[in-house]
Structure 1
Amino acid sequence: MKYSHEDLKQIGLSCLNLSLRRTSRLVTSYYDIMLKPSGLRITQFTVLAGIAYEKDLSITDLANLTDIDRTTLQRSLEILNRDELIKIEKKDIGNVRSISLTKKGETKLAKAMDLWKQTQELITENLGKSEFKQTLKILAELRNIPVLQIDSVEE
């Protein structure tokens, strides 16, 4: 055996990826529960907010803005389009499509925004304002580590 029981224990105690995934699942579930009265999940809320933030957005632009891979984003967009929260229109040039919110989507986002703000406040209160800000700062720093950039990783 090339690894020990202690090695395996260390994975559970110190693996950054495992810790982030566990935390992400928990935080995502909490946001989903808190946003439930709006009829949106946090992923859908994030996509709608991205569309509202940047006017005349292409799918590629939205994928870059939200850091959601195109396959996952496409599934979300299909649901949002089906529910008439967004409209997707082909642009005159090339194979580019632009995305915008419908009136129904704007209303849904506004309702969800109030719930999102409440959720943010609850998490901030429970974690502490300075710890919350520090956590966001550390996560941003982690995303900017050069070795973690996809382009720098060899397959």
Structure 2
Amino acid sequence: MELSHKDLKDIGSSCLNLSLRRTSRLVTSYYDLLLKPSGLRITQFTLLVAVAYEKDPSITDLARLTDIDRTTLQRSLDILNRDGLVKIEKKEIGNVRSVSLTKKGEVALVKAVALWKQTQKTIIDSLGKSEFKQTLKILNELGNLPVLQIDDKFET
């Protein structure tokens, strides 16, 4: 079977995954740029927010809260730990480790939250408040589609 130029163009203009990934890269780059004075990237910021929100969560708790697979999460936490932003400690019972913010992590997070608020405002002002809310609603609905809820039976 030969693919036509039109077929390939249609994929480029209508593929949800391609569009989401392209937009995600642009949005991530924008947040990274504006969070730079805090010393954090948006991925690190997101994890620090989750750690602060949960108060000493386990790594499993963080994986569930952030929808990040444990391997990727562990790598990111190792970097945050290395940089002195989080502390990872073994809990007394079982093979469970908890994560907490260090004082340095708290200071970085406070600085980053102020920058994040400015970034959010710029995006909301650029897109429009109702369009922004509608975009979040659509993304949440998309993320909750039953067809996208892949469990272990599909993994190889």
Q: TM-score scaled to structure 2, two decimals?
A: 0.95
Note if 1:52 corresponds to 2:26: no
1:16 is matched with 16
Judging changes above 3 Å, is the alpha-carbon distance between structure 1 residues 46 and 134 closer, same or farther for their aligned structure 2 residues?
Answer: same
Judging changes above 3 Å, is the alpha-carbon distance between structure 1 residues 89 and 125 closer, same or farther for their aligned structure 2 residues?
Answer: same
Runs of 5+ unmatched residues, structure 1: none
Judging changes above 3 Å, is the alpha-carbon distance between structure 1 residues 153 and 121 closer, same or farther for their aligned structure 2 residues?
Answer: farther
1:93 is matched with 93
1:106 is matched with 106
Aligned partner of residue 61 in structure 2, secondary structure: helix
Judging changes above 3 Å, is the alpha-carbon distance between structure 1 residues 99 and 30 closer, same or farther for their aligned structure 2 residues?
Answer: same
Aligned partner of residue 117 in structure 1, secondary structure: helix
Shift of 1:72: 1.4
1:37 is matched with 37
Runs of 5+ unmatched residues, structure 2: none
Q: Is the 8 A contact 1:146 1:152 kept in 2?
A: no
Shift of 1:2: 4.0
Judging changes above 3 Å, is the alpha-carbon distance between structure 1 residues 104 and 154 closer, same or farther for their aligned structure 2 residues?
Answer: closer
Identity over aligned pairs, percent: 78
Distance (whole Å) between structure 2 residues aligned to residue 70 and residue 51 of structure 1 = 15
Q: How many residues align?
A: 155
The RMSD of aligned alpha carbons is 1.3
Shift of 1:75: 1.2
Aligned partner of residue 151 in structure 2, secondary structure: helix
Shift of 1:83: 1.0
Shift of 1:69: 1.4
Residues 3-12 or 80-89, more deviating: 3-12
1:74 is matched with 74
